[in-house]
Amino acid sequence: MLVRFAAYTGLRAGEIAALRVRNVDLRAGTVNVTESTAEVGGRLVTGRPKTERSVRVVGLPRFLVDELRAHLGDRLLQPDTY
């Protein structure tokens, strides 16, 4: 699932690590990229991406939407879940 998600969205590892359920809109078939996670001083820090251009909405193919819906299940009710 993770490999397919990365391959079909083109998101960077840090962007994927920062995603929360609230960033995924299954009705629209999109992912809102608003944060990125990076290692700073030996700790993981999540915040705004380095550039404003990195903040974007990425479309999802239908099959991936279906897989995400099944994968997320009850977590869809908890928008702050990673």
Q: Per-residue pLDDT tens for 39-79?
A: 999 999 999 988 999 999 999 999 999 999 999 998 888 88
* Backbone CA torsion sign across 67, 2, 33, 18: positive
Reported confidence tier of residue 35, pLDDT bands at 50, 70, 90: very high
pLDDT at 37: 97
Residue 37: enclosing H or E segment and its boundaries? strand 36-40
The residues facing 58 across adjacent strands are 31
Closest CA to 29 of 81, 1, 69, 78: 69
Report the chain's mean pLDDT, rounded to a whole number: 95
pLDDT at 81: 86
Can you tell me which residue has the tokens 């820090």? Answer: 45
